[in-house]
Amino acid sequence: MYTIGWFSTGRGQGSLNLLHAIVKAMEDGTVPAKLGFVFCSREEGDAEGSDRYIRQAKEYGLNIVCFSSKRFKPELRKEGKQNPDALHQWRIEYDREIMKRIDGLDARLCVLAGYMLITGPELCTTYDMVNLHPAAPNGPAGTWQEVIWQLIEEQARESGNMMHLVTEELDKGPPITYSLFPIRGSGYDFLWEEMAAKLTAKTLEQISREEGEENSLFKKIREDGALREIPLVVQTVKSFAEGRVKLENRRIIADGKVLSGPYCLTDDIEKVIE
């Protein structure tokens, strides 16, 4: 059976939701795969959120490997706040310890699901690792908040989510799978009109600063994007497990053909959320 490695910091409810979704999808046969291991970058006692995550993983009967980034060479990591070379060295040494702990555990694909650390070059080249980014391929970079404000600034017509290959450069790996959704039309047009009226009196920067995540257009884009995030993770793993998509020498192979771009899962995602 196709085997997945699952990486998380287990910081909050979002990480728990992702873990629950993939476990449920594997148990009910939606995803013909199993979790070979769950790696958590915290240990019991590090934080309340990760303690809940670790307990839940154990209740699911998963093989969870915990190794605290908070407790690993804290002085070197502290030095890294001022010295990029020290931080780079800390990442390499921490990742090497991870690889020692998961050596021999089966994982054809590794999924970062609420993993809050940047991977070093050795870890992300030793394993095929994918991560969620809350934007369409060639869409805005940054956090989901930054992505949405850029979409509004550009008066975009659609947004999306993608799973991209993890590389040493943060969020710069090539997209592997993606889904799109419109941010125009029913449910949106009056919000764009409302925003246009506000922009006659204020700059977008002022609106962003004053209203933040409570802005109506911002909230609508976020709700529709968040609705599709977990389904994209699950459908991506499903696609790999079923053999529809695979990686060979960092190239995407879909249905036996080398793709020049990412694999579209929009139809699959929309069927799920219906």
Residue 191 token pair: 């919000």
Concatenated DSSP letters of 251-268: EEEETTEE-SSPEE-HHH
- Percentage of the chain with pLDDT > 70? 100
pLDDT at residue 254, rounded to an integer: 87
Is the pLDDT reported for residue 227 higher than 90? yes
Domain 1-127: state its class.
alpha beta
**Does the pLDDT of residue 169 top 80, yes or no?**
no
pLDDT tier at 138 (50, 70, 90 boundaries)? confident
Cα–Cα distances (Å) from 67 to 19, 45, 49, 63, in that order, read 18, 12, 15, 13
The percentage of the chain sitting over the pLDDT mark of 90, rounded to a whole number, equals: 86
What is the residue extent of each domain of the chain? 1-127, 137-159+176-274
Tell me the per-residue pLDDT of 70-96, one tens digit each, with 9 for 90 and over: 999 999 999 999 999 999 999 999 999
34, 3 Cβ separation under 8 angstroms: yes
If we measure between CA atoms, which residue out of 171, 173, 174, 168 comes closest to residue 88? 168
